[in-house]
Structure 1
Amino acid sequence: MVSTLDAQQAYGGPATHEVTNQAPPLTPYDASEDPALLEALRREGAGWAEEDLRRLGRKAGSVQAQEWADLANRHEPELRTHDRYGHRVDEVEFHPSWHHLMRTAVAEGLAASPWADDRPGAHVARTAGGLVWGHTEAGHGCPTSMTYAAVPALRRQPELAKVYEPLLTSREYEPGLRVPTQKRGLLAGMGMTEKQGGSDVRTNTTTATPTSEPGVYTLRGHKWFTSAPMCDVFLVLAQGPGGLSCFLVPRVLPDGTRNTFRIQRLKDKLGNRSNASSEPEFDGTVAWLVGPEGQGVKTIIEMVNCTRLDCVMMSAALMRKSLVEAGHHARHRSAFGARLVDQPLMRNVLADLALESEAATTLTLRLAGAADRAIRGDAQETAFRRIATAVGKYWVTKRGPAFTAEALECLGGNGYVEDSGMPRHYREAPLLSIWEGSGNVNALDVLRALSREPGTSEALFSEFALARGADARLDAAVTRLGNRLSEASPTTARRLVEEMALTLQASLLVRYAPPAVADAFCASRLGGDWGYAFGTLPEGAGLGAIVERALPGGD
């Protein structure tokens, strides 16, 4: 019988093969090493946060944090409806890696802490932190985003905000169902949509019945898509006697008993696997009114602005992470006698992806700056934020799936296997165009803003005017867009919003990006010299300079 050692000696080497021409592990790396990100951080008033952002970037790109991300998605949350004795508990159990990610996110101020920070740029710093920590995984960004967005809605009921806001803005992560006021920090979730209506929340059938105690109701009904069901409190829409209203629902009541929050099942989702999304049932569930009865939509509208910004942020983070992975592979893999990154067509693909990523990052932080200034009372920025956030939500999240698919393809077959992490990014991307209003909802919201809030159009074109004369293609696009506004209709809303988004991104890049980046973006996105797929930038587009700027560590 021939041994393995004999076989190796007979063939003069290992029995199978030697591993060559494979990229080394990307980790550890610095997820904050992105000139577009750091420049925008300073520009939008949060330069004071740069040191912390760089520290978080190194942590996000560490071997440990990337392992947490992988494990949290491989070991998905599990629903436990009853304990061993038959008592209803409605708990969801997570892998320890989920808690490590959550603890870091909350401690780094990525939940609601900016609402307790008086420094100008606090909300920009949080968004930049999300762009960096988003290099880990996206699922745990859901509860931090909802917690961030809950605060402005809760402020519509000052007596409730006085109790809960200090705990929501805390940097302490304390999982587990206990009386909220006895914890060091809280997380907030949301229960808005129902199976018969989805985004059309005015068709909700969950009912709210007043009790003898002022401001306290009991709810009865079923919610269709409530993520992060282990949060401490939830903002819920239900039909009160005066119409659709907003309510605060704690999982545990002040006397320590469990509120009725029966989790029927967890959703089996395409992506976002680390995060539990559920269908809870309310039946005599105790709730506190937030804002006036019958004004539920008005109460949550500020919340929508916040969560839509986070959708843009997470899409931009996915783009950047996918680009970094693709660039790393291309710089270490060779084919047909040269490194992939030096092959002209691959260089074109990477440069095109880099343009898209920088445009998304720059727009995200411009929106965060507008939010920060709007929260502090700037009327012009309030109007700009109103329309530009909806525009950005529509476009950047739409670009995400195509972007991650192209970045995955840069790795070839290596990108199609789970170990690469690229399939997880690809599955994650479509969620962000669905969450907080699909493409149609956001496009129609832009039309609503234009027709009902004329100041929004003025604010948008005032932004364009800041780049007037810098690029003829941009000037022509602004003129075309102005002419198109008079013809706006629901049928053509998507086309209109697409042009708004590209014009806005181009105006920002013309003002702030290096000439090679701005020129290539305007030539391709506005000048018509661009194909459907990525990698169709025109000759002379300065591909080398674009790629060198985009990839960490230089080219």
Structure 2
Amino acid sequence: MVPILAPEQSATHDVTNQAPPLTPYDASDDAALLEGLRREGAGWAEEDVRRLGRLAGGEEAQLWGEQANRHEPELRTHDRYGNRIDEVEFHPSWHRLMGVAVAEGLAASPWADDRSGAHVARTAGGLVWGHTEAGHGCPTSMTYAAVPALRRQPELAAVYEPLLVSRVYDPGLRVPGEKRGLLAGMGMTEKQGGSDVRTNTTVAAPTAEPGVFTLRGHKWFTSAPMCDVFLVLAQAPGGLSCFLVPRILPDGTRNTFRIQRLKDKLGNRSNASSEPEFDNTVAWLVGPEGQGVKTIIEMVNCTRLDCVMMSATLMRKTLVEAGHHTKHRGAFGALLIDQPLMRNVLADLALESEAATTLTLRLAGAADRSIRGDAQETAFRRIATAVGKYWVTKRGPAFTAEALECLGGNGYVEESGMPRHYREAPLLSIWEGSGNVNALDVLRALGRAPDTGEALFAELALAHGADARLDAAVLRLKDQLSDPDGAETGARRLVELMALALQGSLLVRHAPAPVADAFCATRLGGDWGHAFGTLPASADLDAILNRALPEAG
């Protein structure tokens, strides 16, 4: 039989005018990041940060991030025999991402590092490794934040801290003492209260053993349920208290931790977020009974810093993607990067990104020095972290949307990765307290600890006289603070001005003149429109872009 040959297929087009893959690239090739790392006392970590940045921008690590989000975690409530197991299965790429993150010190290892700047180095590492994907940053952040809370119960810290600070990722539910490294999660919010944790209804009943309780209740948003231990809030006889809940008890039996379901979230899809139920669940008291909120305050400071860091990371990642695309894509007779209006958009995004990165590293420096006993930095950290959490995470969604638009239709398809970043951005303004919660927390800090306001203005004073627009903004800020009427209603406006003044102060002191001048002219001086890409004619776009995107300059 003679085969029937299909007619020859002729190509209808050639693939032209498309940007090549961005990978491999160096996620640490960021002047603002490296300068901040050195300035905040962690220059000794630069070689490691650069190495991690190259790994993060490599084809393999970028593929891990894509796969971990495409193959989402799956809940297994029972084994084949009907035994309750409450386990979540992850794609191997999730475990690879986690393995690198833990090994590179992005979890709790800075607490075991006596070097000045250890917490800054961790934040810088997160700023580059976050270019892979954001979801696995949740368990590393919670593990980092759990250590200072756990230290309020020294006998528990002696058992668990050495394993929490380990650089070994050891997944799987086993007796904690038999593992080489542990991860910690948190169970704070409940369906009826959310951020208002004082309304929690989970009950903690004391047992005959001192410090040991049993919990009964339901948590509403507990991420990373495969962590080894959890810090949980519950109502004890003495009031709202903090407890340590291990998934596996010391005798090897499974603690009651029934995962009712995984959340079907807008973004952060690689990370499992769950609703666990406690029923006679064994827990150990952490800190004094009735002081649960006070116990977790230090933990909140740590996770809020990570929210700022993750938002700054998303900004930088999407800016790099936009810059790369516009360098290779042509329209109307010229490359996009050479079009004046596109250069304005990219330069405006670059200003926002540098301001976010610089503030992130300043907050990390404050955390490092606060942990080492600096009272002035402790006061500054208390207010500035809440200010930064409010503002930087609020800017994230608008920023990622604009960066996506730089790619046009190509940015709207899943294969580009930009939709994943866009969906991720809103989470960070919700996690660890929404915008209102953080704005009101700033007012609370000012009212209860006046030294926080003094520390903020001392920081702003370091740039006094360097830019008239910044000086005027600081005066406006003082005027607003002097009028307590309507403080709560206007809390967002107040905190926004605090954030912009603080970013402006940092840039005036540390960034090149074209960056600082354009930021102050627009964010503080009012010479700005309501969208990115409205920098004034006086802005030195070339200098801003040469600094932020050397290949696009």
Distance 2:351 2:552 in 1: 16
Partner of 1:344: 340
Partner of 1:515: 513
Kept in 2: contact 1:41–1:47 (CA 8 A) = yes
Partner of 2:530: 532
Note the C-alpha offset of 1:540. 1.9
Which residue of 312, 316, 325 corresponds with 2:308?
Answer: 312
Note the C-alpha offset of 1:552. 4.7
Kept in 1: contact 2:347–2:544 (CA 8 A) = yes
Note the C-alpha offset of 1:486. 1.7
Percent identity of the aligned residues? 85
Q: How does 1:79-228 map to 2 (within 5 A)?
A: 79-228=75-224
Partner of 1:500: 498
Kept in 2: contact 1:26–1:328 (CA 8 A) = yes
1:157-183 deviation digits (Å, cap 9, x = unpaired): 000000000000000000000000110
Note the C-alpha offset of 1:17. 1.2
- Alignment: residue pair count: 549
1:196-215 deviation digits (Å, cap 9, x = unpaired): 00000000000000000000
Secondary structure of 1:278's match?
strand
Distance 1:342 1:386 in 2: 43
Secondary structure of 2:282's match?
strand
Partner of 1:254: 250
Secondary structure of 2:185's match?
strand
Secondary structure of 1:6's match?
coil
Residue type of the partner of 1:356?
A: E
Distance 2:218 2:13 in 1: 57
Residue type of the partner of 2:315?
A: M
Note the C-alpha offset of 1:554. 5.5
Distance 2:5 2:272 in 1: 50
Distance 1:475 1:245 in 2: 44
Partner of 1:6: 8
Partner of 1:62: 58
Q: Residue 25 and residue 5 in structure 1: after superposition, are their counterparts in 2 closer, same or farther (change >3 A)?
A: farther
Distance 2:281 2:458 in 1: 48
Note the C-alpha offset of 1:548. 1.2
1:277 aligns with 2:273: yes
Residue type of the partner of 2:469?
A: R
Structure 1: stretches of 5+ with no match in the other structure? 9-14
Partner of 1:457: 453
Secondary structure of 1:490's match?
coil
Structure 2: stretches of 5+ with no match in the other structure? none
Kept in 1: contact 2:379–2:455 (CA 8 A) = yes
Residue type of the partner of 1:450?
A: L
Distance 1:395 1:544 in 2: 27
Note the C-alpha offset of 1:7. 4.7
Residue type of the partner of 2:275?
A: E
TM-score (norm 1): 0.98
Which residue of 527, 549, 552 corresponds with 1:551?
Answer: 549
Note the C-alpha offset of 1:276. 0.1
Distance 1:78 1:240 in 2: 33
Which residue of 233, 238, 241 corresponds with 2:234?
Answer: 238
Which residue of 317, 322, 326 corresponds with 2:318?
Answer: 322
Kept in 2: contact 1:33–1:552 (CA 8 A) = no
Distance 2:308 2:60 in 1: 26
Q: How does 1:405-420 map to 2 (within 5 A)?
A: 405-420=401-416
Q: How does 1:26-65 map to 2 (within 5 A)?
A: 26-65=22-61
Note the C-alpha offset of 1:223. 0.1
Kept in 2: contact 1:351–1:535 (CA 8 A) = yes
1:14-34 deviation digits (Å, cap 9, x = unpaired): x22100000000000000000
Distance 2:476 2:220 in 1: 42
Secondary structure of 1:407's match?
helix
Distance 1:5 1:461 in 2: 77
1:293 aligns with 2:289: yes
1:75 aligns with 2:35: no
Runs of 4+ more than 2 Å apart: 1-8, 552-555
Residue type of the partner of 2:195?
A: S
Note the C-alpha offset of 1:6. 3.5
Note the C-alpha offset of 1:551. 1.1
Kept in 2: contact 1:179–1:252 (CA 8 A) = yes
Residue type of the partner of 1:285?
A: T
Kept in 2: contact 1:41–1:365 (CA 8 A) = yes
Note the C-alpha offset of 1:553. 3.8
Q: Residue 2 and residue 510 in structure 1: after superposition, are their counterparts in 2 closer, same or farther (change >3 A)?
A: farther
Partner of 1:11: none
Residue type of the partner of 1:274?
A: S
Distance 1:43 1:494 in 2: 30
Residue type of the partner of 2:58?
A: S
Residue type of the partner of 2:269?
A: R
Secondary structure of 2:167's match?
coil
Secondary structure of 1:443's match?
helix
Q: Residue 414 and residue 4 in structure 1: after superposition, are their counterparts in 2 closer, same or farther (change >3 A)?
A: farther
Kept in 1: contact 2:327–2:552 (CA 8 A) = no
Partner of 1:12: none
RMSD of Structure 2 on Structure 1 (CA): 1.0
Secondary structure of 2:317's match?
helix
Distance 1:554 1:419 in 2: 23
Kept in 2: contact 1:246–1:291 (CA 8 A) = yes
Secondary structure of 2:20's match?
coil
Residue type of the partner of 1:165?
A: E
Distance 1:513 1:331 in 2: 25
Distance 2:106 2:505 in 1: 29
